[in-house]
Structure 1
Amino acid sequence: MSTGVRRRMGVEERRQQLIGVALELFSRRSPDEVSIDEIASAAGISRPLVYHYFPGKLSLYEAALRRASDDLAGRFEEPPEGPLGARLLRVMRRYFDFVDEHGPGFSALMRGGPAVGSSTTNALIDSVRQAAYVQILSHLDVEEPPARLELVVRSWISLAESTALIWLDGRRVPRGELEVQLVHDFAALLAVSASFDEEMGALLGRVLAKETPGGPLDAMIARIAGLPVA
């Protein structure tokens, strides 16, 4: 982040600089706590010049959120190679990298912040969820998901969000354990759905058939098999 250095920039270059500065500040503290004066100082420009590029903090926050949402959506992209469990674990690691790096901003977005409730913010949040949904379906090699599969995938995405928020509130559970747990949660949701539906059962069978010994899902199955039965 630049501090106190003045140089002439083109309009778009200056806008992108301000978005980057704002995003860094919002990543450290809730956007409600960051002032335009702080953003201007960090960017090395005057307060009026910030307003020349953005009408107010809300519009700057939305622009920073748009960049962050693009970044977060990209965390779900993964080459369609190898066992699903290993792929999902890499996705969760990148997801929690983002949550770790942008904690206050992520929390403000999901729990309440200066732009929460606006049509722009809601659309950006929905775009991240939809991108995640499409990517998970691609991992499963499914183009037209049945209703139960859509329910499983969208429920799991919501679970990942809520898990990340709870983790940020004190970080009382080791992050790595949560990443693995969420992969297990996905398989568990699939398994429960499969118990009601033959099509889901066949999908679960294909997923498990491609797992390798010692992988995340293989480890889950071993743990379940070792649980005592009353």
Structure 2
Amino acid sequence: MSSGASPPEAPPSGGARPARRRLSVDRRREELVAAALELFGGRDAEDVSIDDVASVAGTSRALVYHYFGGKQELYVAALRSAADQLEARLRPSEAGGLVERPVERLGVGLGRYFDFVEERAAGFAALVRGGPANRSGEVGEIVDGVRHRLLGLVMRLLRVEEAGPVLRVTLRSWIASVETAALDWLERRDVDRRVVERMLVDQMVATLGVAARHDPRVVPLLENLVSEHAP
């Protein structure tokens, strides 16, 4: 007997529900790493929980554990992702190879570095600031590896084949200054980015001047830079 009401709409064939959006394994890992970087970039790793990452990623803590096993594994994966992104950004390009003057090459390299800082702020902050004070194990290897490759990049930009102890200390100290300046700019942004980049180039010239007083082998490099680095 009909009641006059319309019958309920029939479910899809086989009673199946509409399919949820499914992500590939790689894509899901990328989303979790991105969520982790957002958190690790703003807080110490000790203050970030798996639940925090799951909440930002819009998933369950069980899924985070499924993909990474624990917070340390996720932290390492997040830092490694940021390190790979930075190194890819700094990889020499054909355009960069057309720049002949060392100071100009250094300026181009700094520009690419700050591009990464600006566009991947959370990843940069997590890489150079986040984590435990005593960076050991895989975390230390990742961070130190990035700095070691940055040293090699700076040497190539300046066309230095081998750095003696004085020059090595000078260049590593300058790299630390670049990291500090980039973090300060990222947090405050009260100085034009290009001004910061020019200041760092000037700082390189100044620190090489100090190094040259302690090692005569630095003098030719300094003279080459000073001759083309008119104010």
TM-score, normalising length: structure 1: 0.75
CA shift in 2, pair 1:68/1:89, >3 Å: same
CA distance in structure 2 between the aligned counterparts of 1:108 and 1:77, rounded to whole angstroms? 21
Tell me the number of residue pairs that the alignment of Structure 1 and Structure 2 aligns.
208
Give the structure 2 partner of residue 87 of structure 1.
Answer: 105
Give the structure 2 partner of residue 228 of structure 1.
Answer: none
CA distance in structure 2 between the aligned counterparts of 1:55 and 1:118, rounded to whole angstroms? 19
Give the structure 2 partner of residue 8 of structure 1.
Answer: 22
TM-score, normalising length: structure 2: 0.74
Q: What SS class does the counterpart of residue 218 from structure 1 fall into?
A: coil
Give the structure 2 partner of residue 58 of structure 1.
Answer: 72
Give the structure 2 partner of residue 117 of structure 1.
Answer: 135
CA shift in 2, pair 1:174/1:10, >3 Å: closer
Say if 2:114 is the partner of 1:96: yes
Please state how far the C-alpha of 1:166 moved relative to its aligned partner: 3.1
CA shift in 2, pair 1:18/1:169, >3 Å: closer
The AA in structure 1 aligned to 2:137 is S
Say if 2:213 is the partner of 1:195: yes
Deviations 1:73-126 (A, max 9, x none): 344433343222222222222222333344455445444436962411111110
Say if 2:176 is the partner of 1:158: yes
Give the structure 2 partner of residue 70 of structure 1.
Answer: 84
Q: Indicate if the aligned counterparts of 2:150 and 2:175 stay in contact, CA closer than 8 A.
A: yes
Structure 2 unaligned blocks of 5 or more: 1-18
Give the structure 1 partner of residue 43 of structure 2.
Answer: 30
Q: What SS class does the counterpart of residue 195 from structure 1 fall into?
A: helix
Please state how far the C-alpha of 1:9 moved relative to its aligned partner: 3.8
Please state how far the C-alpha of 1:156 moved relative to its aligned partner: 0.7
Deviations 1:8-33 (A, max 9, x none): 34434432332234334545x33656
CA distance in structure 2 between the aligned counterparts of 1:188 and 1:207, rounded to whole angstroms? 10
CA shift in 2, pair 1:45/1:68, >3 Å: same
CA distance in structure 2 between the aligned counterparts of 1:172 and 1:12, rounded to whole angstroms? 38
Q: Indicate if the aligned counterparts of 1:31 and 1:113 stay in contact, CA closer than 8 A.
A: yes
The AA in structure 2 aligned to 1:153 is L
Q: Indicate if the aligned counterparts of 1:30 and 1:104 stay in contact, CA closer than 8 A.
A: no
Q: Indicate if the aligned counterparts of 2:212 and 2:218 stay in contact, CA closer than 8 A.
A: yes
Instruction: Please report the RMSD computed on the Cα atoms of aligned residues, expressed in angstroms.
Output: 2.9
Q: Indicate if the aligned counterparts of 1:26 and 1:102 stay in contact, CA closer than 8 A.
A: no
- Give percent identity, aligned residues only: 43
2:194 pairs with one of 156, 176, 181: 176
CA shift in 2, pair 1:207/1:74, >3 Å: farther
